[in-house]
Amino acid sequence: MKTIDLAEHGVRVLNQQLHDQAADLSELDWDVVHTQGAHNIACGLNAELNLTVRGHAGYYCAGMNQKASVTVHGNVGVGVAENMMSGSVRIKGDASQSAGATGHGGLLVIEGNASARCGISMKGIDIVVGGDVGHMSAFMGQAGRLVICGDAGEALGDSLYEVRIYVKGRVQSLGADCVEKPMREEHLEELRRLLTQAGMDEDPAAFRRYGSARELYNFKVDNAAAY
């Protein structure tokens, strides 16, 4: 395992070494220490590396991730795993706004709480949150699954397309065109797989499912006030 001390080398050096490593894969396991909430840790990874971040991280940690497995032993700032394509990102603490924004694939696990706009404009990513999420989560979500083991804030799923949302706790309010939907066996099995992958010991039967009513797919003048 290779250890990088950010207090000594800085984020630019870390990211450059990680990108260089993708060319030969001689060192797959990396440990990052003394993070001090630095921004842009482990951005743009494109190899099957295993990265452990031991401390809090700032904005856009593990952004644009492909193939790599990243674990953060702390909290993260805005945009963790933003535009992730594949691989996995696990946050042991809480996440700030826009976690998993525009993510196309892979699995993002937040063991604590997530702030506003979790999963905004998600395009295929799977997100599992062990605690609560803030307002406008899954706003304009296009594809993927959002699992919330706690409560959801206002305007959940506003203007979403085909994202499936599973919530165990209370939903403060639903956004435009988001409705509760039946929980069939296929959804229970899908949720069971996601919870298992995320390491969450939860009963799928305790969750409710939400999705798009599909009334805003095409512009209708009668619905103008809802846009």
Domain boundaries, the chain: 36-214
Q: What is the pLDDT of residues 35-59, one digit of tens each?
A: 999 999 999 999 999 999 999 999 9
Query: Is the pLDDT at 23 greater than 80, yes or no?
Result: no
Q: How far apart are CA 54 and CA 40, in angstroms?
A: 15
Query: Is the pLDDT at 157 greater than 90, yes or no?
Result: yes
Fold of 36-214: Pectate Lyase C-like (2.160.20)
Cα separations (Å) of 34 from 31, 75, 199?
A: 10, 14, 27
Q: Give the model's pLDDT for residue 128.
A: 98
Q: How far apart are CA 50 and CA 18, in angstroms?
A: 10
Adjacency order of strands within the sheet including 208-212: 2-5, 29-33, 50-54, 69-72, 88-91, 107-110, 123-129, 143-148, 164-167, 208-212, 178-181
Query: Is the pLDDT at 225 greater than 90, yes or no?
Result: no
Confidence of residue 26 (pLDDT cuts 50, 70, 90): confident
What is the pTM assigned to this prediction? 0.94
